Amino acid sequence: MNKKTFGTLEFKKIKDKIKEYTASDLGKKLVDDLSPITDLNGIKNLLNLTTEARSILGKSPHIPLLGLHDIEDQIRKIEKGGILYPDDLAKVSSFLRGCSKMKKFMINQDYTGPTLSSYRYSITEFQDIEAEIESSIEGSRVSSKASSQLSRIRKKIDLTEVKIEQKLQAILNSSNYKKYIQDFFVSKRNGRYVIPVKVSYKNQIDGSVIDSSATGSTVFIEPSSITKMTNELSLLKAQEESEEYQILATISGYIGLHLKEIKLNLEVMAEYDFIFAKGKYSNSINGVEAVVNNKDFIKIIKGRHPLLEEDATPLDFKIGKDYRTLVITGPNTGGKTVALKTIGLLTLMTQSGLHIPAKKGTEISIFEKILVDIGDQQSIEQSLSTFSGHIKNIIEIINKTKYSTLILLDEVGTGTDPSEGAGLAASILEELYRRGGITVATTHYGEIKDFAEQHNGFENGCMEFDATTLKPLYRLLMGRAGKSNALWIAERLGMSNRVLDKARDYINTRNSIGQDKIKYKIDKVDIKLPQKKENDKRESLKNSQTIEFVQGDSVYIGNSDNKGIVYKTEDDNGYYIVFRKEQFEKIHKKRLRLHLSKDDLYPSGYDLDIIFFPYEKRKLKHDLDRGAIRDVREYRERVKEAKNE
């Protein structure tokens, strides 16, 4: 898979649709990371989870995921030795409460979704932490109920603030100070209580100027009569802050003791959000779980493009058993390109563990690669640069094609002289077939239809056209080549018989010449599928744990897509030595799956030491083998040099 394939087939739009059904950023992150995999058993497991999610939703549509918070930032704070403040703790509490609700909900889903339900065993409940946060945090501040000391301090703060305000209010209400006061209310500046005084009278009030207005007409003075109480208030505030810190630090420390379990909760809840989003999306498209195989066989029954309206004409399509190349013909805007994109997108979705909009019985093959050349072919003129771009892309596609490759080509060979384009298109399709790919190609060229008819492994298809209304029906007919509708349409629209007859003469003359050339080519070409190599049996055992790997095999490690190269074969205890990330690791055979065999990766006689050792170490081994190292001292020096390399 590559970015071009994802972009052309609009896979991101599918992910955007799924994200609409997530309840949290946790689920959205997993949707962003969603991509097709190639492990058959892994895909079956993912599809089963989506099926279970949809079954649970059918029984209980309200999954307790609302209010779920992503607390990764809070976890990082604690890991760095920081403390969580009230807003942080409120998020943690909400998350833990959500975990408890989800665990209780999934207890009753053992029958409907046994695999999904089993995830609950990885969730740890923390009712004591929830209770502690609930009793200690009130809104966005530490509650006075969090400790008796904090409660006493805050009562003193309230009493001191009342005394200060009473003292200031007395000054504002005094007739002695009336003409000095700018505004008759108590204010606060820089954390201290003040009264607003006209600047011209600032020396008439005994106290300290704390601040002034933007215009400079008012100064804010703290009267000397409250300075002592204000200092007492500042001390109480400091004591309050210290006590709050101790409370927050204690709760944060307790959370820190259980970070491992909480992080596992985070992973499980993210998976739940993600999987149920896939289930909800399946509901929205009336999706089904496709049957999956690794035999290059596709059978789509009433499949729809998931980004089109539901009234779009469904697609019936089959490839991979009696033929491996399908050539689709039909009118412009007849749905050929949509058919290609539907095939590709439904395959990507299936390999990502998603349900697809189709009927039950639909079967999708798992492909290592999906390669596409689909562009805007509707313009009247195509520039040389556009044609060159297509050819460069097709060259790359040919070079990457082998078994387990799906190729989708739109208007193959167009953009140049028709006679050359038809020949080029035929040779491209032939080469892709030789390499073992599954190819679906659209074309306007009649010669390609004839080419497909006369070759085993090729088949024609066409987009149906309504001759009465002159409109495309967007329906793919398998096993039939499309007819040219240009003359029919011209006649229906009133073109004169003289022009039409002359056109038929030109067409017949061109076809008689062109078909001789094409027939000559067909008679001379014997298209055969590539012979499967001896290692094909090993290819079919990629998911098996009984396969014996050889030095040079590329292998998957564990259930991920992480890869390594086999260096030493199996020992008596079932362990292999695998070269991974510039290091040799000892890994048991049960954790290894074949990715690519040595024969697929390297030419015959290839020196595998080039992979495992730098030049100096290889040279040392070579010199030792041919006797170029004469004594022990020289050998030790050379070994030392090689190690330094």
CATH fourth-level superfamily of 291-483: P-loop containing nucleotide triphosphate hydrolases (3.40.50.300)
C-beta separation of 566 from 576 below 8 A: yes
Paired tokens of 409: 């080509």
pLDDT in tens, 595-630: 888 887 777 777 777 777 665 555 555 555 555 555
Domain range list for the chain: 15-126+258-284, 148-239, 291-483, 536-644
Other C-beta atoms closer than 10 Å to the C-beta of 137 total 24
Residue 311: CB atoms within 10 A of its CB come to 7
Q: What is the pLDDT of residue 522?
A: 41
- Which pLDDT score, from 0 to 100, does residue 517 have? 47
Mean pLDDT, to the nearest integer, of 128-145? 92
- Mean pLDDT rounded to a whole number for the chain: 82
Q: What are phi and psi of 319, to 5 degrees?
A: -160, 150
Task: Say what the pLDDT of residue 543 is.
Answer: 47
Judge whether residue 330 has pLDDT over 60: yes
Query: What does the pLDDT average to over 407-428?
Result: 80
Secondary structure, 3-state, 289-333: CCEEECCCCEEEEEECCCCCCCCCCCEEEEECCCEEEEEEECCCC
Across the beta sheet with 471-478, the strand order is 369-373, 405-409, 438-442, 323-329, 457-466, 471-478
Provide the CA 308 distance to its chain's centre, in angstroms: 22
Residue 355: C-alpha distances to residues 56, 209, 277, 278 (Å): 15, 72, 12, 8
In whole angstroms, give the CA distance from residue 634 to residue 615: 18
Of residues 582 and 148, more confidence is placed in 148
Q: Provide mean pLDDT across the span 144-152.
A: 94
* pLDDT class of 155 with cuts at 50, 70, 90: very high
Nearest partner of 133 among 185, 102, 87, judged by Cα = 87
pLDDT at residue 521, rounded to an integer: 45
Q: How far apart are CA 67 and CA 91, in angstroms?
A: 9
Of the two residues 500 and 72, the one the predictor is more confident about is 72
592 phi, psi to nearest 5 deg: -115, 140
Buried-exposed string 409-448: b where 16+ CB fall within 10 A, e elsewhere = bbbbbbbeeeeebbbbbbebbbbbbebbbbbbbbbbbbbb
| pLDDT-above-90 percentage for the chain | 45
Question: Mean pLDDT lowest for which of 305-319, 406-420, 627-641?
Answer: 627-641
Q: Pick the more confident residue, 616 or 49.
A: 49
Q: For residue 65, is pLDDT > 80?
A: yes
pLDDT at residue 452 above 50? Answer: yes
pLDDT at 623 (0 to 100): 57
- Residue in the structure block whose two tokens are 């497991």: 45
> Rounded mean pLDDT of 391-404?
90
Name the residue among 151, 189, 193 with its Cα closest to residue 169: 193
518: confidence class by pLDDT, cuts 50, 70, 90? very low
pLDDT at 519 over 60: no
Report the SS3 class of residue 566: strand
Choose among 528, 595, 526, 527: nearest CA to 557: 595
DSSP code of residue 183: S
Contact 451, 429 (CB under 8 A): yes
Place of tokens 């966005």: 140
Print the SS3 string covering 498-551: HHHHHHHHHHHHHHHHHHHHHHHHHHHCCCCCCCCCCCHHHHCCCCCCCCCCCC
pLDDT computed for residue 620 by the predictor: 56
Q: What is the pLDDT of residues 196-229, one digit of tens each?
A: 888 887 887 888 888 888 888 888 888 888 888 9
Residue with more model confidence, 2 or 245 = 245
Contact 238, 15 (CB under 8 A): no
pLDDT value for 14: 96
| 334-372 confidence digits (pLDDT tens) | 688 889 999 999 999 999 999 999 999 999 999 999 999
Q: What's the pLDDT at 644?
A: 55
For residue 420, give Cα distances in angstroms to 237, 441, 454.
87, 17, 20
The predicted-structure confidence for 577-589, as pLDDT tens digits, reads as follows 988 877 888 888 8
Token pair for 564: 């390594």
Do the beta carbons of residue 243 and residue 153 sit within 8 Å? yes
Evaluate if residue 166 carries a pLDDT over 60. Answer: yes
Name the 3-class secondary structure at 373.
Answer: strand
What is the average per-residue pLDDT within 132-145?
92
Q: In degrees rounded to 5, what are phi and psi of residue 193?
A: -80, 135
The structure tokens 């001379």 sit at 524
Write down the pLDDT at residue 191.
81
Q: Is residue 535 pLDDT above 60, yes or no? A: no
Residue-wise pLDDT tens digits, 537-576? 454 454 444 578 898 888 888 766 678 899 999 888 888 9
Radius of gyration over every alpha carbon of the chain, rounded to an integer in angstroms: 38
- Say whether 291-483 and 15-126+258-284 share the same fold: no
Instruction: Enter the DSSP assignment of 169.
Output: H
Q: What is the mean pLDDT of residues 378-404?
A: 73
What are 466-479's pLDDT values in tens digits? 656 656 667 888 77
pLDDT at 545: 47
What's the average model confidence in pLDDT over 627-634?
Answer: 51
Residue 71 above 50 pLDDT?
Answer: yes
Q: Is the pLDDT of residue 24 over 60?
A: yes
Whether the model pTM is above 0.75: no
The secondary structure of residue 288, as a DSSP letter, is B
Tens digits of residue pLDDT in 100-115: 999 999 999 999 999 9
CATH number for the domain formed by residue range(s) 148-239 = 1.10.1420
Q: Report the pLDDT value the prediction gives residue 375, as an integer from 0 to 100.
A: 73
Largest CA distance in the chain: 119
Q: What is the CATH number of domain 536-644?
A: 2.30.30
CATH of range 15-126+258-284; options 3.30.530.20, 1.10.1420.10, 3.20.20.140, 3.40.309.10: 1.10.1420.10
| Residue keyed to tokens 């290609």 | 340
Residue 198's pLDDT is what? 86
* Cβ-Cβ contacts under 8 Å for 360 (sequence gap 6 or more): 288, 301
